Structure 1
Amino acid sequence: MTDHDASEIFDVVVVGGGPAGAIAAADLAASGRRVLLLDKAGRIKPCGGAIPPRLIRDFAIPDALLVARIRCARMVAPSACSVDMPVGDGFVGMVDREHFDPYLRERAALAGADLRDGLFERISRESAGLATVHYRSGKGGEEHRVQARLVVGADGATSTVGRAEIPGHARMRQVFAYHEIVRRPAETGHDGARCDVYYQGRLSPDFYAWIFPHGETVSVGTGSARKGFSLRSAIRDLRADTGLDACETIRREGAPLPLKPLRRWDNGRDVLLAGDAAGVVAPASGEGIYYAMLGGRLAAEAAGAFLATGDARALAQARKRFMRLHGRVFWILGMMQWVWYRSDTLRERFVSICKDKDVQQLTWDAYMNKELVRAKPAAHARIFFKDLAHLFRWVSP
């Protein structure tokens, strides 16, 4: 440990340089705060990489980061019957986290954040009003200490910060995601503007599998919370079924994803969580990039209020504002996953529902703009009764 480390004092130390941490660090640094962003180098999160237009607008994502533009989603049932859901006007952007996350970290550094390769270890409290952050420069590297008025934990679903500081974090329910990035030869015939989503129990007993185009590569992935289910075997089968088994495998990645937002994101003192660490991955869809970046921004705003006033109650505003904006959507998606993902019979009916034009339009409207569409009550009513008809098997799939 170097002698000068303990004398370094930051307003905020952000642990984790994924989308949530990078945005929090960038926003705080841009507002004039002294920020340290710690990130463990070399890790790439498994992710389909879809980002909606709302994210591209709100966070000024340059076109150069988009590896594909999606115009359609194909939903594949257990019977192998499929339903195409055209996006309509506009597109869904696709990014590769190998390049997307470093861009966001570099943007934080350009805003003034001190970006360091560091492995967070623990927090101690040796001075009034300051937390001491202990970290190592790489695995097995030298230990360092810095002090901060606030620590933002954006270090993933198994957050070391969260487990140490937020009661109940270790009991967070999770689904484990795994994907393989493969090279996409032209002769496979896969549409570079279409995402394929597989609702088949053999590929995931409680979630879904996917094939998402990334330009010259493809993300082939799946997820499950069921212990003992072989994600690698499922991906091997999916690649064989779709002609991707002979393609070069560029990398393999796996990580846990949270299933619902935590009830508390702060310790009421000097720690606030963001992103996966706070549990903000959408149920049913597994979408996390937009919600992580929004959570990072809300964490930065709550942190700014805390730093300005010294009132730790300001930290709770991050979760309150997030849930006010998206809590209802998360509840609906959670119910949808619980109802429709339980068996192949139900999954078959779920895919059949996706044929409905009302379902398609409202789904894309909500996804693209991240707002529930309230202006079409008749369409909502029609969807509700169609859902009931499929659930109680009053109609055939």
Structure 2
Amino acid sequence: MDQYDVVVIGGGPAGATAANDLAKAGRKVLLLERGGRIKPCGGAIPPQALKEFELPEDEVLVARARSARMIAPSGRAVDMPIPIGFVGLVDRKDFDEWLRNRAASHGAVRRQGNYLKITRDTDGSAIVHYRETVAATAAEGDVAGQDGLNPVDLPASSGTVERQVRARAVIGADGANSQVAKHCVPGADKMRYVFAYHEIVRTPEGGNTDRCDVYYQGRVSPDFYGWVFPHGDTMSIGVGSEIKGFPLRKATADLRRIAGLDSAELLRCEGAPLPLKPLAKWDNGRDVVLAGDAAGCVAPASGEGIYYALAGGRYAAEAVEAYLASGNAASLALARKRFMKAHGRVFWALGLLQRFWYTSDSRREKFVKLCADPDIQDLTWESYLHKRLVRKKPFAHVRVFFKDVAQLLGLSKA
């Protein structure tokens, strides 16, 4: 049985970043990605992510947004130009693969397959069971010499084979519906979700290529929002809602019509749950730690997940490295501790925003009006682009507070 220092389950931004960091540190890493699935995502990524995670913008970005447009239930639109810089846009189909290839270039072993379970060896070490996908020629029995696999081990009609590897540590980065989390981390089965769906369409001639449009309208989403984000030659059009049974496809079709994109060529569509809140615990106190969506690292209100997945993957890698170096399983808790210290206040503030402003069209109308305020725009872009709460402008915070109160009490004209 092959043995690895770390098995990373899930090859999205969190898993691929963790695998890359650990491989660069000299650890023997297996990166297990199930393949064939692309997460629905607007693809927004701040410049801070490019800098912090050494992402070459010319290679990973498909577009650069210079402004955002907020659209209220009444149709009123408020533009929020970005004063300095841009919001980068990626296509997850290509971006995630770029991250996985980078991890492999630094020594991580890539395998395509589905995680099944974790069992224990006689000495207590983790054994990761997974079903590996093999090439069509392998399904015909031509698999001799591939990692020592004998042709008789593979049913000719399946195209898969079950494998086992031993791991000193495991990182579960297998998405919001994480099986690693459910199998290993208490409380993970209580995760709340927003269900997201989007369609990638070809950008029509003369279409918007440098602005992110966000629709705060109950007919598009009763408790979240809809989006139209540019991806260069393509666009992402999607919606999200926590309400089970909400017709996401119909809402997306409505959004395409509202945005004047109902005749745009459909290239592909994807759907998936997005977590609403970081889990209270990210590790099993032994040898497993979570990262990315599996840990609940999607920002409330905005639904932003790429930057926080990258950050979560790095914190998980640091925690695992500390554990491997010391043998102290308490080190695994560092992943959540460091993430929440860096981003917990932002998640808390955005959670309050979502719970209040997204509950009715009358509140959405007021929220969009607030977005026109220069102080709010300034603080919003400072926080988003640099991934920190702005503390250097206390008087702007005071002004924003009183403007919020005026809206809540109806003292400001809509």
Match of 1:235 among 248, 252, 264: 252
Letter of the structure 1 residue corresponding to residue 66 of structure 2: R
1:84: which partner in 2? 79
The one-character-per-residue Cα deviations of 1:190-237 (angstroms, maximum 9, x if unpaired) are 321100000001100110000000001100000000122111011111
Residue 373 of structure 1 corresponds to 390
- Percent of matched pairs sharing the same residue: 61
Task: Quote how far apart the aligned CAs of 1:127 are.
Answer: 3.2
Partner deviation per Cα, 1:293-324 (whole Å, 9 max, x = no partner): 00000100000000011100000000000000
**What is the aligned-residue RMSD (CA, Å)?**
0.9
Query: For residue 115 of structure 2, what is the aligned residue in structure 1?
Result: 120
**Deviation by residue 1:105-162 (Cα, 9 ceiling, x = unmatched):** 0000001000011110000002324100000013952100000011100000000100
1:16 and 1:38 in contact (8 A); partners too: yes
Q: Structure 1: how far apart are the matches of 2:245 and 2:32?
A: 34
> Partner of 1:36 in structure 2?
30
1:172 is the counterpart of 2:210: no
Structure 2 residue aligned with 1:132: 127
Q: What's the offset of the Cα at 1:61?
A: 1.3
1:278 aligns with 2:275: no
Q: Distance in 1 between matches of 2:380 and 2:166?
A: 46
> Which residue number in structure 2 is paired with residue 4 of structure 1?
none
Match of 2:96 among 101, 104, 124: 101
Match of 2:322 in 1: 305
CA distance in 2, matches of 1:241, 1:325: 38
Aligned match for 1:146, one of 144, 165, 190:
165
Structure 2: give runs of 5+ residues left out of the alignment: 135-157
**Pairing 1:53–2:47 present:** yes
Match of 1:347 among 364, 372, 376: 364
SS in 2 for 1:177: strand
Q: 2:413 — aligned with what?
A: 396
Which residue of 57, 60, 65 corresponds with 1:65? 60
Q: Is the 8 A contact 1:129 1:149 kept in 2?
A: no
> Residue 23 of structure 1: which of 14, 17, 30 is its match?
17
Q: Which aligned runs of 4 or more in structure 1 are off by greater than 2 angstroms? A: none
1:142-190 CA-partner distances (Å, limit 9, x unpaired): 1000000111000000001001111111110000000000001114xx3
2:174 matched residue in structure 1: 155
Distance between the aligned counterparts of 1:285 and 1:52, measured in 2?
13
Aligned to 1:223: 240
Alignment of 1:195-210 (within 5 A): 195-210=212-227
Q: Which structure 2 residues correspond to residues 255-266 of structure 1 after superposition, within 5 A?
A: 255-266=272-283
Q: Residue 218 of structure 1 aligns to a residue in which SS?
A: strand
Instruction: Look up the equivalent residue of 1:169 and give its one-letter code.
Output: A
Describe the SS at the equivalent of 1:127: coil
3-state SS of the aligned residue for 1:148?
strand
TM-score by length of 1: 0.97
> Using the alignment, how far apart are the partners of 1:309 and 1:168 within structure 2?
27
- Answering whether residue 306 of structure 2 is matched by residue 292 of structure 1, we say no
Partner of 1:137, secondary structure, is strand
For residues 59 and 110 of structure 2, the distance between their equivalents in structure 1, rounded to whole angstroms, comes to 23
Q: Does 1:185 align with 2:204?
A: yes
State the distance in 1 between where 2:187 and 2:331 align: 21
Q: Which amino acid aligns with 1:299?
A: A
**1:3 alignment partner in structure 2:** none
Q: CA deviation at 1:270?
A: 1.1
Distance 1:129 1:105 in 2: 30
Pick aligned residue for 1:360 from 377, 387, 391: 377
